[in-house]
Amino acid sequence: MNVLVVGGAGYIGSHCVLQLVAAGHRPVVVDNLVFGHRSAVRSEIPFYKCDIGNTKVIGQILREESIELVMHFAAYAYVGESVNNPRKYYENNFVSTLRLLEAMLDNGVKKFVFSSTCATYGEPDTLPMLETLPLKPINPYGQTKLDVENCLKAFAQAYGLSFAAFRYFNAAGASEDGSIGEDHDPETHLIPLVIDAATGRRANIKIFGTDYDTPDGTCLRDYIHVDDLSRAHIAVFDKLEEPGSYNFYNLGTGKPSSVREIINEVEAVTGQRVHVIEDARRVGDPPALYADSSKAQKELGWEVQYTDIKDIIETAWRWHLAHPSGYED
């Protein structure tokens, strides 16, 4: 299948491109390279540098590359920034997605896979988190993702768009072959930050809150390997055959790890000590967030291959050793 991967030079998108190739599909990448890296996409993969809000250019790509399905990963994802600058997030995450959908419909492309987030749930009342929980985002980032989900449902009912929306938990790790990995600027994800602290690229790592009602007092999060995420996106293709059909899926391991556990495992994998500073809780940090992904497992035949947090960290560490400064572009 010819698949347009929007945001395909970013962290999750670039891993999905590799998995598409491995599964026998033909990916085509669109990325404006604001956060993506050109070198994260192999030279033989068709690549277009453009904004997804440019309906004329996107339409031309859809036609010339005979695109049959679109995967959408392009979004701003810094929660704090979304609070301080919501206009930027609504413009990019929602309005640009609307333009992308318009270009698809105008060119007869009606299969869509959307990168959503567990931030659509807000602070959950129960754990593990099921797809049936109330959707109550507490920041503009989560709200823009939920707004796109609602838009997709309306488009499915009105125009026959078929889609799947995946609500991610904490994507982590690097590709199995070590060729691509995680390189954000600024970096906010815990595992690469702790690796940087272990290698001396940063002086320390802060633990925000050590008095939560968790086994070791620090926050619990659900870390899922980026290749496991990617495989789920491909496993859903068969679900998109019926016009107007749609599904929502959580993607996590269901096995949360604490901040302190991540630090300990990074120390074990790297053989380096991490200087830790214990700080006060951050406003808005729930004690625990972890998924029930049984729906994806049952309906898609999807299985988590990286079930141990140490194995996930080891892939991130291999990427760091090979690319200590990240991508060079």
Average pLDDT for consecutive 10-residue bins of the chain (329 residues)? 98 98 98 97 97 97 98 95 96 98 98 98 96 96 98 98 98 94 95 97 96 97 98 97 98 98 98 97 91 98 97 97 90
Specify which residues 246 forms β-bridges with. 163
Q: Rounded to an integer, what distance in angstroms lies between the CA atom of residue 34 and that of residue 53? A: 14
**Which is nearest to 223 in space by CA: 276, 291, 285?**
291
If you count them, how many residues does the chain have? 329
Q: Rounded to an integer, what distance in angstroms lies between the CA atom of residue 93 and that of residue 74? A: 8
Structural domain harbouring 164: 2-172+224-251
Q: Rounded to an integer, what distance in angstroms lies between the CA atom of residue 262 and that of residue 247? A: 32
Looking at the structure of the chain, the number of domains it has is 1
Task: List, by residue number, the catalytic residues.
Answer: 141
Residue 214 lies in a domain: no
Q: Rounded to an integer, what distance in angstroms lies between the CA atom of residue 312 and that of residue 171? A: 10
The CATH number linked to 130 is: 3.40.50.720
Specify which residues 172 forms β-bridges with. 225
What is the distance in angstroms between the CA of the first residue and the CA of the last residue of the chain?
30
Cα dist. 298→17, 232, 235 in Å? 24, 12, 11
Total-model pTM: 0.96
